């Protein structure tokens, strides 16, 4: 058992080292290093893959005698990892790492210069390798099932389609009602919000929520993300628009939500493959909970608005709390997913979910993608991007080879309200605590019911144990009805 | 041969990944991650060590058929690396990596709080492991020979002692003469030198010397260093004192000199173990050449002084070129090695060389060290540190386990003038070019005669081929006589 633990610790170290190299690539790496960095990440990832899937690990898994419940989980989860990993040849893993390293750089340049054509050949390679990857992983109904399962274990294309259809049927009438209601101005979140003041304010609030900067930090990157190199080193990134408060501030709360999940994992799991989020849906539930259910709530701003006024006297000097709260919660179809309001956000996800399926099935090609993106944006949200940088090039995910990932964002939204409802039942004065800037009870509840378990519990187990029921859109729809009914008067 | 190349590329990737983790540890890593980072670096280093020393590499080395002169060098140098590496058990390598990861963090804290006692147990472990390391490496006369040889292949304790004695005999009269001469004021380099202006000025000049920021970058760290993750990713760090021009500016030129060496290596060597400096002495010759022979020269400031006046109007507005040049070249015994003048610098090195030998031989203990340091500083340089932070805690090297490293700094000084003399013979108008801010001929000469070869040529070969003679103190002593004779009138 100790030999197995040691071997898994080494594999975990290799994967975390690769994550550090990827973080550096997004934040500080000089441009000229693209090629060598892609090779280095590929070497680490393929090495980790080889070690996980070689005979030594298999023999250790067979012969190990678990000495605790933790050991049992370690063996169980690792067996599943090995089983999945052995389906994919290490040459394919290395090819994908090299391709994504290169295409990430190409995406950054293409996005900066609105030059989709320069990214397209990289994306074509990614799609081609992703199809090979899905075939290697295996699936029951459709290759897309295999891709989904990587990020949300046990989830199928059919189930997501079913949940999304249900959600859509109930959401579209709400969006229509809001569209017919008087417009709420978002003027208060636009104005003079200096870069340094936003940076400091975001970090200050993230600290107060419970993100531990002794074991974390924030940097600038083109696309905000969070990443963990150990339970004691969990980092976030943001980008700052000095004329617009929302993207950086709510982005910081979002990434801090992810980071607090990883920071809350039981230290007994440190250095093992169990010290990770159990699924991207659960991960996203944590980021959305802090970003939206807390960060965009009235009680939150009852506490923080005076702080914000002090931090941004020019923009907020003449603004009152209610105006600011409403301004931070306007619903309006917009081009950029990460800046979308809570109500229309899931439509952005459904668009990507459809496009990904069409790309993988070959129904559309990489060259069709900008037009398809723009057409569907127009159909779904009634607006058409004027540049690819604001359209098909806006997200980093495809450049990383992360196809099948997007649906987990919407699943996370649904899970966030389910968990938040359960937390409110356990902490009846939660709103009052939020209004006093005290988040410790909520964080403690999340640590107990979600964070500490890492991968020891499945996504579905977390939901069942914490809330008493499985995935459903009911809670989220009720939240939207209540909050936006209040704002838009329905 | 291709299989050997692939294997060595993987090993190189692992070592470079470890270097990236170490760079991050010095620049951005949150404090809480110390323990996990030490483990991760240890894992990567020990993997690289295992791969280098296992049967597969040995068999490939035996059976490989070199297809070019480059292949021949690759096989020759790798054989020597393997031979050296197999002498050290991988457990010891891992122990040293863990110990140095921990002691680095402890050193940083101890230095910041002037608390040597908190660093001492870490240093004791380092010394103990270093002795084991020397025994494992093997030596002819003394364990210190084995340590020296790691950084300057072929160099012995006896030879360094001989060269240093010779140097001392010729240097001490010069220092005495200067001490008796009228004091030159260094007031011009002290004053209001704002952080951001220093940062920008240093980067601007480093660019003009030829340090390529497309394949490099500068960050802040407690102890400045340069590090390479590939020929296309070579980074430097600095620290900035907003009341003192010299440390950051000359430090930047120094690290840029190291970095230009690594950036100038032939791209045909990329991803191989040959793409590295051939010895620390040669490496230091490059940093000192740009820092001192160029950066502290009169022709250099004939070009740059007007730029400096623009960048630092408050501090330099009323200063003239000659006053500034003299101010940047004062000779005065000082506490901090990296801020020492050119003339006394080598005395700092000789002090460390003696203390290291005494620590390794057991003649003094780690607990004696602060007193021994301070006593010898007083004997050698006539000044006594009032805090350990300005004394025994000033350098990062011992915390990293780099004992035997310091002598290469003085060897680098000697080599720098030898190479510079040869460059001046090849470029007769070098001073005029420098005075016009054109460094391309000098950089080209260094690339041709030093940089491009990487580890294909030994330190001694580089010197012989480039200058026509081996290591000697003559050139450096003549440089000191001429430059400081002019300044101090002897």
**A282-320 per-position pLDDT tens digit:** 999 999 999 999 999 999 999 999 999 999 999 999 999
Candidates B10, B28, B217; nearest CB to A43: B10
pLDDT given at position B90 = 76
DSSP string of B1-57?
-HHHHHHHHHHHHHHHHHHHHHHHHHHT--GGGHHHHHHHHHHHHHHHHHHHHSHHH
In a domain, B149, yes or no: no
pLDDT given at position A470 = 87
In a domain, B85, yes or no: yes
Phi, psi of A271 (to 5 degrees): 80, 5
What is the CA A423 to chain-centroid distance, rounded? 21
Domain count, chain A: 2
Confidence bin at A380 (pLDDT 50/70/90): confident
Chain A residues whose CB is inside 8 A of the B232 CB are 30, 32-33, 35-36
Residues B183 and B127 in one domain: no
Which among B368, B391, B365, B366 is positioned nearest to B378, based on CA atoms? B391
Assess whether pLDDT exceeds 80 at residue A90.
no
Residue A362 in contact with partner chain B when CB distance is under 8 A: no
Confidence bin at B380 (pLDDT 50/70/90): confident
In a domain, A145, yes or no: no
Confidence bin at B79 (pLDDT 50/70/90): very high
Q: Are the beta carbons of A232 and B30 separated by less than 8 Å?
A: yes
What is the CA B193 to chain-centroid distance, rounded? 26
Range of the domain at B190: 157-488
Across residues B29-54, what is the average pLDDT?
94
Tell me, yes or no, if B141 is annotated catalytic. Answer: no
The helix, strand and coil proportions of chain B, stated in percent and rounded to the nearest 5, come to 70, 5, 25
Q: What is the ipTM of this complex?
A: 0.89
Across residues B195-212, what is the average pLDDT?
98
Assess whether pLDDT exceeds 80 at residue B42.
yes
CATH number at residue A218: 1.10.1370.30
- Mean confidence (pLDDT) of chain A: 95
Give residue-wise pLDDT tens across range B284-300: 999 999 999 999 999 99
* Contacts with B, A 16-35, CB within 8 Å: 16-18, 20-21, 24, 28-33, 35
Gap between the Cα atoms of B19 and B26, Å rounded:
11
Chain A residues whose CB is inside 8 A of the B13 CB are 39-40, 43-44
The β-bridge partners of B230 are B233
Residues B453 and B374 in one domain: yes
Candidates B14, B43, B217; nearest CB to A30: B217
Residues A324 and A386 in one domain: yes
Residues B167 and B134 in one domain: no
Gap between the Cα atoms of A96 and A400, Å rounded:
9
Assess whether pLDDT exceeds 90 at residue A94.
no
Domain termination residue (choose one: B138, B173, B199): B138
Give residue-wise pLDDT tens across range A55-66: 999 999 999 999
Confidence bin at B165 (pLDDT 50/70/90): confident
In a domain, B150, yes or no: no
Assess whether pLDDT exceeds 90 at residue B179.
no
Residue B184 in contact with partner chain A when CB distance is under 8 A: no
- Mean confidence (pLDDT) of chain B: 95
In a domain, B145, yes or no: no
In a domain, A185, yes or no: yes
pLDDT given at position A243 = 98
Q: Are the beta carbons of B16 and A216 separated by less than 8 Å?
A: no
Confidence bin at B382 (pLDDT 50/70/90): confident
Chain B residues whose CB is inside 8 A of the A18 CB are 17
In a domain, A133, yes or no: no
Q: Are the beta carbons of A10 and B43 separated by less than 8 Å?
A: yes
Confidence bin at A339 (pLDDT 50/70/90): confident
Domain termination residue (choose one: B138, B168, B201): B138
Strand order in the sheet with B218-220: B218-220, B233-238, B226-230
pLDDT given at position B101 = 82
Candidates A24, A47, A216; nearest CB to B30: A216
The fraction of chain A above a pLDDT of 90, given in percent, is 88
Candidates B33, B229, B230; nearest CB to A229: B33
Q: How is residue B325 written in tokens?
A: 């040049």
Give residue-wise pLDDT tens across range A174-198: 988 998 899 999 999 999 999 999 9
Residues B270 and B311 in one domain: yes
Which among B280, B245, B244 is positioned nearest to B262, based on CA atoms? B280
pTM: 0.90
In a domain, A127, yes or no: no
pLDDT given at position A297 = 98
Q: Are the beta carbons of A44 and B229 separated by less than 8 Å?
A: no
Nearest CA in chain B to A35: B232
Residues B331 and B293 in one domain: yes
pLDDT given at position A175 = 87
pLDDT given at position B379 = 84
Q: Are the beta carbons of A30 and B232 separated by less than 8 Å?
A: yes
pLDDT given at position B202 = 98
pLDDT given at position A488 = 96
């Amino acid at each position: 058992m100790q030999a197995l633990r040691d071997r898994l610790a080494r594999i975990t170290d290799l994967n975390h080292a690769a994550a550090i190299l990827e973080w550096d690539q997004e934040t500080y790496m000089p441009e000229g290093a693209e090629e060598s960095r892609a090779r280095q990440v590929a070497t680490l990832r393929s090495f980790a893959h080889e070690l996980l899937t070689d005979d030594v690990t298999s023999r250790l898994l067979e012969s190990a005698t678990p000495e605790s419940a933790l050991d049992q989980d370690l063996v169980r989860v690792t067996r599943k990892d090995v089983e999945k990993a052995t389906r994919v040849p290490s040459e394919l893993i290395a090819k994908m790492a090299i391709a994504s390293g290169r295409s990430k750089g190409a995406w950054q340049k293409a996005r900066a210069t609105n030059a989709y054509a320069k990214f397209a050949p990289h994306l074509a390679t990614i799609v081609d390798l992703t199809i090979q990857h899905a075939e290697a992983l295996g699936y029951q109904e459709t290759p897309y099932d295999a891709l989904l399962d990587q990020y949300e274990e046990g989830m199928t294309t059919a189930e997501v389609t079913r949940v999304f259809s249900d959600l859509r049927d109930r959401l579209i009438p709400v969006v229509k009602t809001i569209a017919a209601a008087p417009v709420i101005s978002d003027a208060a979140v636009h104005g003079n919000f200096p870069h340094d003041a936003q940076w400091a304010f975001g970090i200050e609030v993230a600290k107060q929520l419970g993100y531990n900067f002794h074991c974390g930090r924030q940097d600038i990157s083109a696309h905000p993300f969070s990443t963990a190199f150990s339970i004691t080193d969990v980092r976030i990134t943001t980008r700052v628009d000095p004329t617009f408060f929302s993207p950086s501030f709510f982005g910081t709360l979002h990434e801090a939500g992810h980071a607090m999940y990883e920071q809350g994992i039981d230290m007994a799991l440190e250095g093992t493959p169990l010290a990770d989020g159990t699924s991207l849906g659960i991960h996203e539930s944590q980021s959305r909970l802090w970003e939206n259910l807390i960060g965009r709530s009235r009680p939150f701003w009852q506490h923080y608005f005076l702080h914000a006024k002090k931090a941004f006297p020019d923009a907020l000097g003449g603004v009152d709390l209610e105006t600011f709260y409403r301004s931070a919660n306007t619903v309006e179809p917009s081009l950029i997913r990460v800046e979308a309001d809570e109500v229309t956000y899931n439509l952005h996800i459904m668009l990507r979910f459809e496009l990904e399926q069409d790309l993988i099935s070959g129904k559309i090609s990489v060259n069709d993608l900008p037009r398809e993106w723009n057409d569907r944006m127009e159909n779904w949200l009634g607006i058409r991007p004027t540049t690819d940088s604001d359209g098909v090039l806006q997200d980093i995910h495809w450049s990383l080879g992360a196809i099948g990932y997007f649906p987990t964002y919407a699943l996370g939204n649904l899970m966030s309200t389910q968990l938040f409802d359960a937390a409110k039942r356990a902490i009846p004065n939660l709103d009052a605590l939020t209004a006093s800037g005290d988040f410790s009870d909520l964080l403690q509840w999340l640590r107990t019911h979600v964070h500490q378990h890492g991968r020891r519990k499945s996504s579905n187990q977390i939901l069942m144990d914490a809330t008493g029921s499985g995935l459903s859109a009911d809670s989220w729809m009720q939240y939207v009805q209540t909050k936006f009914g209040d704002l838009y008067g329905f």
